[in-house]
Structure 1
Amino acid sequence: MLKRKRLKDQTQVTFVLAEDIPAGPVSVVGDFNDWDPAAHPLEPQGDGTRAATVALPVHGSHAFRYLAAGDYWFDEEQADRHDGTNSRLDT
């Protein structure tokens, strides 16, 4: 799930997944963090979810995916669109 909050000149995007599906650590990786799995790991929220928040410039389009343990890559079903390889997010 994606949650968005418009700030002055940025869009704050929170990437949210269930705490245990898939099992193990998960990070959101994309062009906004140079595809670095260490940059935005999803952290437990205490409500059965885990999340990571990223501030992105408005009027942009960003490619991203999730990376789970075992080199398991997957897409966000609620992304604005998919380009055949990645999920896409418009801010």
Structure 2
Amino acid sequence: MPLNKKPSKDKTLCKVDFSLPEEAAAGAKKLFLAGEFNAWKPAPMRKAKGVFTVSLELPAGASYQYRYVTDAGQWLNDTEADCYVFNSFADADNSVVVL
């Protein structure tokens, strides 16, 4: 599911809806979102109708690396991210949202 982005009227913030279908969540019962915007501390997502979602208001004019984290500790990328950046710490790519 693509990232849904809605800029504020003054264009200083952007509401971003992050979502991941249950079938892409590696069997997770719970899913979390971690990224540069929350110091990589996994924040809970809610599940409704087979889709995990969370909405955040982020400062506009920047890009943010993020990944989804399952309740089993598995880190997942977003197949609908704007782009990807290699992370040598995890030896994997991080998803990126560009605002």
CA distance in 2, matches of 1:50, 1:66: 10
Letter of the structure 2 residue corresponding to residue 89 of structure 1: V
Task: Identify unmatched segments of 5+ residues in structure 2.
Answer: 87-92
1:14-33 aligned at under 5 Å gives the runs 14-19=17-22, 21-22=25-26, 23-33=28-38
* DSSP 3-state at the match of 1:82: strand
The root-mean-square deviation of aligned C-alpha atoms, in Å, is: 1.4
Q: TM-score, normalised to structure 2's length?
A: 0.80
How many Å separate the matches in 1 of 2:67 and 2:35? 6
**Offset, 1:28:** 0.8
| Alignment partner of 2:16 out of 13, 17, 25 | 13
Larger Rg: 2
Normalising by structure 1, report the TM-score: 0.86
Q: Which runs of 5+ in 1 are unaligned?
A: none
In the aligned structure 1, how far is the partner of 2:68 from the partner of 2:50? 18
Q: How many percent of aligned residue pairs carry the same amino acid?
A: 30
Q: Please list every run of at least 4 consecutive aligned residues from structure 1 whose deviation after the TM superposition is greater than 4 angstroms.
A: none
SS at the partner of 1:86? strand
Aligned partners of 2:5 and 2:75: how far apart in 1? 23
Amino acid aligned to 1:4: K
Distance in 2 of aligned mates of 1:19 and 1:73: 15
